Amino acid sequence: MRALGLDVGSKTIGVAISDPDGVIASARETLPRRGNEADAQAIVALVLREEVGRVVVGLPLELDGTVGHRARRVQRFVDVLTPAIAAAAPEAAIEAWDERFSTAAAERTLLEADVSRRRRKLHIDALAAQHILQGWLDARERRPA
What pTM, to 2 d.p., does this model score? Answer: 0.85
pLDDT of amino acid 61 = 82
Q: How many domains does the chain have?
A: 1
Q: Is the pLDDT of residue 116 over 80?
A: no
Single-letter amino acid, residue 130? Q
- Give the 3-state secondary structure of residue 90: coil
Strands (E), 1-145: 2-8, 12-18, 25-32, 52-59, 93-98
Segment (H or E) for 88: helix 69-88
Using an 8 Å Cβ cutoff, are 120 and 126 in contact?
no
pLDDT (tens digit per residue) in 67-108: 888 999 999 999 999 999 999 999 999 999 988 665 655 566
Q: How many CB atoms lie within 10 A of CB 84?
A: 18
pLDDT (tens digit per residue) in 14-66: 999 999 999 999 999 999 999 999 999 999 999 999 999 999 999 988 778 78
Q: Is the pLDDT of residue 113 over 70?
A: no
* Residue 60 to residue 65: CA distance in whole angstroms: 9
pLDDT of amino acid 72 = 95
> If we measure between CA atoms, which residue out of 5, 2, 38, 3 comes closest to residue 130?
5
Inter-CA distances, 140 with 72, 101, 143, Å: 25, 19, 5
CATH number at residue 122: 3.30.420.140
pLDDT of amino acid 102 = 57
Range of the domain at 89: 2-142
More confident residue, 137 or 100: 137
Separate counts of helices (H) and strands (E) for the chain: 4, 5
